[in-house]
Chains A and B, each alone.
Chain A
Amino acid sequence: MLTIINYNAGNIKSIQNMLKRIGVKSTISSSVNEIESAEKLILPGVGHYDYGMKNLKECGLIECLNKKVLVEKTPLLGICLGAQLLGNRSDEGIESGLGWIDMDVIRFDKSNMNADLKVPHMSWNEISIQKTSRLMEGLNNESRFYFVHSFHMKCKNQSDILTTTQYGYEFVSSVEHENIFGVQFHPEKSHRFGMQLLENFIKI
């Protein structure tokens, strides 16, 4: 069973709606027992970095997630804030992230962008695929996704970068490290492109 982790930070209903559309059964849960028995995990997330990490801690999920993801190697897909939390830290707050992928989350550098570009980056945008991945099957550099974010991931290891996207400059729009995936964009709100990506994740 695919389990969407409910830690009161994110629009989980949209993800479940999209999964239902592609014929995938999922549960929404914050129970350690249910998460422990999950075959796949989705970590959604909208909102402040510290709020997200605090909620994960308050729900008592960190230890269980560490075991599932790092020891049992259960595939996990982080979406938006859920992707950012996979890293070490964020410019947005003071809490440490999950630390599963060696990356930081930094604020869009406006000094490096055209003045007419607004932050948050709230728009559809294309991806540039940086490595072969089962998550990207059937997708290409013309596939477009919906983004809403003011901060973006910055990887320490080039090999963790799955896709990049151009907004003012090129930033990391998704990451992959072994069984851990994170997408800055919202596949659940990205029409057939998002459906394809979620279908790919189910098959991993």
Chain B
Amino acid sequence: MRRIRVIPVLTLQNEKLVKTIRFKNPTYIGDPINAVKIFNEKEVDEIVILDITATEEKREPNYKKIEEIAGEAFMPFAYGGGITSLSQIEKLFKLGIEKVVVNSVLANNLSLITDASNIFGAQSIVASVDVKRNLFGKFNAYHTGGSNKIDFPLIDFVKKIEQSGAGELFINSIDNDGTYKGYDIELIKIVASVTHLPIVACGGASSVDNFLEAVKNGASAVAAGSLFVYTGSTKGILINYPKQEDLKQKFYSKI
């Protein structure tokens, strides 16, 4: 049986855990350490933690908090937010994380990805691409919390990232973030058609069925935010994760 990684994504504003809708209106969820402890108990495959305002607020990664989280994460832990240099990346790995997630530097300093990939291995460098459709449904990539548009076509951007040496593509649909509409399947298909990199699909998941759809259309792993921090569309806060039996029955066995 082939397993596919199912990855909770926690978004932070510095030390606070928040959840957005379409990258806007951050709602306070709680304490990240507490959430990670619960995800440990639920034996999640991996966690991604993104400080979504670090770059905008010109903050460095909050090393103290990240170290504290890493001390509680007994699954692979990827961190993103506020990363601008090789020395920061080195420092992050020494704290006990497995992967760094980069977003803003994809737009202005791709050589950092190349250097980091050569030193730490491509498998530890995740390129996070935020994508929004324009009025005509055409995809554009964005960076820095969805606030800055990349002014050339998405597929060219993806190819450049692949050439730079990143090991994984984290594709986040801004339009579907927090909406429970399911993944943007067309987006996954387009990206998968132009890259050999593994794609982690994110944005819009509301069920295990959505995971299957994403993987059938080219994703190598699936990620979600709201789905794992809320009880459902009524939005009671509840850190949760599918049971192994459900994943086996509804997901792995159908791939």
A-to-B contact residues, CB < 8 Å: 11, 13-14, 16-18, 20-21, 46-48, 118, 120, 122-126, 144, 146, 148, 186, 188-192, 194-195
Structural contact, A191 and B43, CB atoms closer than 8 A: yes
CB distance from A98 to the nearest CB of B (A): 21
CA distance A120 to B98 in the complex (A): 15
Contact pattern, B 139-168, Cβ under 8 Å of A = 1, otherwise 0: 000000000000000000000000000011
B-to-A contact residues, CB < 8 Å: 1-5, 40, 43, 45-46, 70-71, 73-76, 93-98, 120-121, 123-124, 167-168, 196, 198, 220
CA distance A189 to B71 in the complex (A): 11
Given A46-B124, A47-B121, A123-B5, A191 and B96 touching (CB < 8 A)?
no
List A contacts of B2 (CB < 8 A). 123
A18's closest neighbor in chain B, by CB? B74
CB distance from B225 to the nearest CB of A (A): 21
Structural contact, A13 and B123, CB atoms closer than 8 A: no
Contact of B98 among A14, A16, A48 (CB under 8 A): A14
Q: Give 7 A-B pairs besides A47-B120, A122-B168 with Cβ atoms closer than 8 angstroms.
A: A11-B93, A13-B96, A14-B98, A20-B71, A146-B45, A192-B43, A195-B74
List A contacts of B168 (CB < 8 A). 122
Structural contact, A191 and B74, CB atoms closer than 8 A: yes
Contact of A191 among B40, B121, B124 (CB under 8 A): B40
Structural contact, A11 and B96, CB atoms closer than 8 A: yes
Contact of B96 among A14, A46, A118, A146 (CB under 8 A): A14
Contact of A189 among B4, B76, B120 (CB under 8 A): B76
B76's closest neighbor in chain A, by CB? A189
- Most-contacted residue by chain B among A21, A46, A122, A144 (CB, 10 A): A122
List B contacts of A122 (CB < 8 A). 5, 123, 168, 198, 220
Structural contact, A17 and B198, CB atoms closer than 8 A: no
CB distance from A75 to the nearest CB of B (A): 23
Structural contact, B123 and A120, CB atoms closer than 8 A: yes
- Most-contacted residue by chain B among A14, A47, A118, A186 (CB, 10 A): A14
Structural contact, A17 and B71, CB atoms closer than 8 A: yes
CA distance A14 to B74 in the complex (A): 8
List B contacts of A148 (CB < 8 A). 76, 98, 123
